[in-house]
Amino acid sequence: MIEFKNVSASYDGELAVLNDVSFTVNDGDFVAFVGTNGAGKSTTMRLANGLLKPTAGEVLVDGVPTTALKTSELARRIGFLFQNPDRQICCNTVREELLFGFAALGEEGPAAEARVDAIIERFGFEAQAEPYLLNRGTRQLLALASIIVLAPPTIILDEPTTGLDFRECVKVMEVVRDLNEAGTTVIMVCHDMEVVGDFARRVIAMTAGRVVADGATFDVLRDRRVLKEAHILPPQVTEVSLMLGRGEECPAPVAAANTVPQMVQALAAARGVEATTVEVEAIG
Amino acid sequence: MIEFNEFSFRYREGAEPVVRDITLAIPDGCFVGITGAAGSGKSTLTYAVNGIIPHCYPGDFYGSVTVEGCDTVDTSLTDLSRLVGSVCQDIDSQMVSTVVEDEILYGLENFAVPKDEIPGRVDEALAAMGIADLRDRTIDSLSGGQKQKVAVASVIALRPKVLVLDEPTAELDPASSVAVFDLLSRYARENGTTVIVVEQKIALLSDYADMLVIVDGGRIRFADTPDAVLAHSDELLALGVNVPRATTLVNALAAQGLYEGPAVRNVAGAAAVCKEVLA
């Protein structure tokens, strides 16, 4: 569990980049932080994993203030995926990269090697490949794998899909969804609202260093006040339903639809016909 | 006019050509969006327009590429850079100054623009990108979106005939991405500038581009209006190219027999189709 209690933060000790922020992320949550560049999302992530300490208030990880936890202890509890995998990758082979976290924590040995080998097989990596010669999407997957091989109970992902093509994006997010379904808490900063709508169960919207909304994904993404205040564009089907919902005669299911299948079913029902199953590949 | 005529290119260190048999004509003033899976050859196409290929990246160059009638192989990089302005994917690698105004001045002075013309060009470029208030700011104090606008402003100050941008909104939030595309589109329309954008954000490209080019395995699979290209959404997905969710919605309505008509490219189009279904 991660708790922010009235947290403020500054990089230079003067200009506050975070103002009186409070929220709790419970074990097993899948939370997306949304908002414009400079809203304070990445600062919040750095506070959560202890890279930055608050200037006021408290950040608690499993009930312990981050100021009282060693970096190595925080690293065991929270894995952090940087937006740019090249800031994270530092070894000459994929296998060495995956073993690096264990070495940093002083946990080398047969058990660590067995976990690395298992994840190499799971991700289909070539163990001796040189990380910097892999394509962008595979480097992102390697950076993600190097975190989850340590099995932290929480992972923080800063823009995990930026720069990836569609297939790479789907691959990364499916791994993240599997982890969350297996119990890992996922906290993600994301600008792609389709990804947020498809994967996150909760959204925290930020603007100018403060939280302006915290709730179920589509409760936040359908709130016109929040959309305006945080300069967020909703996922496209949600936007269509919000536009249609302004009409007085719009059927309620159409005005409430957030996904392609929901909208197709709602429109078919309005026409008095039954729609067959609609399947949509995730992230569109 | 930009013309690719049976253009193929193999980088010196590569075993195979990364783009093959490209034939494409881009009319003046066209807003072109290029997309495709990673490694499909998108950026190589832009390098062929701004002359980075073959002048900086040597290799085997087949066919021809001409910009405003100038063959990019025979024209020097300096002369090409007067015709084609480029904005890199990594903005920080493009910045050479510490202050915004100096960044805009740098290109103008290097191109020996007459001294009395320079202040007007700077004002015009800052105004076009909506960043007049940033003139005296240091580059390192700017957000990613602001830097992006400065990079574009420093290029349009040179008044190129063609603007080439490689993933200009990769690190921007949705509202800033839309703002950059709005500015680019308006600038291109008002000045007759040809704009070529490589981008993964298909919803943005579909909304703004006059021509959508889909590259797969180094070959052009589609080059047409967004509506015409998005009509092939199943094929696009098979190629690893996303389609806007608005397009997916309308295609699903068509598959259910609830709509008969062309594909749509954006939210407004999808909303209109839904209203038609409800009527």
CB contact under 8 A, B252 and A260: yes
Q: What pLDDT is attached to residue A224?
A: 94
The reply to whether A196 touches chain B by the CB within 8 Å rule is no
Mutation for testing the B interface, residue in A42, A166, A169, A228 having most B CBs under 10 Å? A166
Taking alpha carbons only, the member of A213, A214, A183, A218 closest to residue A199 is A218
* SS3 label, residue B29: coil
| Per-residue model confidence as pLDDT tens digits over B182-214 | 888 988 898 899 999 999 889 999 999 999 999
Minimal Cβ distance to B271: which of A169, A243, A278: A243
Mutation for testing the A interface, residue in B198, B201, B274, B277 having most A CBs under 10 Å? B274
The reply to whether B248 touches chain A by the CB within 8 Å rule is yes
Mean pLDDT of chain A: 90
The reply to whether B93 touches chain A by the CB within 8 Å rule is no
Between positions 147 and 186 of A, the ones with CB within 8 A of B are: 159, 162-169
Question: Once rounded to an integer, what is the mean pLDDT over residues B133-141?
Answer: 89
The kind and range of the H/E element at B150 are: helix B144-156
Q: What pLDDT is attached to residue A284?
A: 41
The reply to whether B277 touches chain A by the CB within 8 Å rule is yes
Domain layout of chain A by residue ranges = 2-233, 235-284
Distance CA A48, CA A188 (A): 12
Q: CA of A192 to nearest chain B CA: how many angstroms apart? A: 7
Question: Once rounded to an integer, what is the mean pLDDT over residues B112-141?
Answer: 90
Q: What pLDDT is attached to residue A14?
A: 74
Task: For residue B195, give Cα distances in angstroms to A260, B174, B175, B187.
Answer: 32, 20, 20, 10
* SS3 label, residue A156: strand
Query: At residue A164, does pLDDT exceed 90?
Result: no
Q: Cα-flanking dihedrals φ and ψ of residue B149, to 5°?
A: -70, -35
- Using a CB-CB cut-off of 8 Å, the residues of chain A touching B170 are 162-163
Residue B144 banded pLDDT, cuts 50, 70, 90: confident
Question: Once rounded to an integer, what is the mean pLDDT over residues B123-152?
Answer: 86
CB contact under 8 A, B267 and A167: no
Indicate the class that CATH gives domain A2-233.
Answer: alpha beta
% of residues, chain A, pLDDT over 90: 65
Strand residues in chain A grouped as ranges (E) = 2-10, 16-25, 30-34, 56-61, 64-65, 78-81, 154-158, 185-189, 202-207, 210-216
| Per-residue model confidence as pLDDT tens digits over A7-54 | 999 887 777 889 999 999 999 999 999 998 888 998 999 999 888 999
Place of tokens 């994840």: A119
% of residues, chain A, pLDDT over 70: 98
Burial class of residue B56 (count of CB atoms within 10 Å of its CB; 0-12, 13-18, 19+) = exposed
* SS3 label, residue B173: coil
CATH among 3.30.70.20, 3.40.50.300, 3.30.1340.10, 3.90.76.10 for B2-225: 3.40.50.300
The reply to whether A193 touches chain B by the CB within 8 Å rule is yes
Distance CA A60, CA A10 (A): 18
Q: What pLDDT is attached to residue A280?
A: 65
| Per-residue model confidence as pLDDT tens digits over A170-192 | 888 998 999 999 999 999 999 99
* SS3 label, residue B126: helix
CB contact under 8 A, B274 and A260: no
Distance CA B80, CA B67 (A): 8
Q: CA of A181 to nearest chain B CA: how many angstroms apart? A: 25
Question: Once rounded to an integer, what is the mean pLDDT over residues B41-52?
Answer: 93
Question: Once rounded to an integer, what is the mean pLDDT over residues A153-174?
Answer: 88
| Per-residue model confidence as pLDDT tens digits over A213-263 | 999 999 999 999 999 999 999 999 999 999 999 888 899 999 999 999 999
Count of A-B CB contacts under 8 Å: 127
Q: What pLDDT is attached to residue A283?
A: 54
Question: Once rounded to an integer, what is the mean pLDDT over residues B111-132?
Answer: 91
Q: What pLDDT is attached to residue A282?
A: 53
Taking alpha carbons only, the member of B245, B195, B194, B243 closest to residue B222 is B243
Q: Closest residue of A to B249, CA-based?
A: A260
| Per-residue model confidence as pLDDT tens digits over B72-108 | 999 999 999 999 999 987 788 888 999 999 999 999 9
Query: At residue A276, does pLDDT exceed 80?
Result: no
Question: Once rounded to an integer, what is the mean pLDDT over residues A165-172?
Answer: 86
Q: What pLDDT is attached to residue B178?
A: 87
Query: At residue B22, does pLDDT exceed 80?
Result: yes
The reply to whether A251 touches chain B by the CB within 8 Å rule is yes
CB contact under 8 A, B274 and A164: no
The reply to whether B226 touches chain A by the CB within 8 Å rule is no
The kind and range of the H/E element at A48 are: helix A41-48
Question: Once rounded to an integer, what is the mean pLDDT over residues A92-121?
Answer: 91
User: Per the structure block, which two tokens stand in for A174?
Assistant: 């499916």
Q: CA of A209 to nearest chain B CA: how many angstroms apart? A: 14
% of residues, chain B, pLDDT over 70: 100
Distance CA A34, CA A36 (A): 7
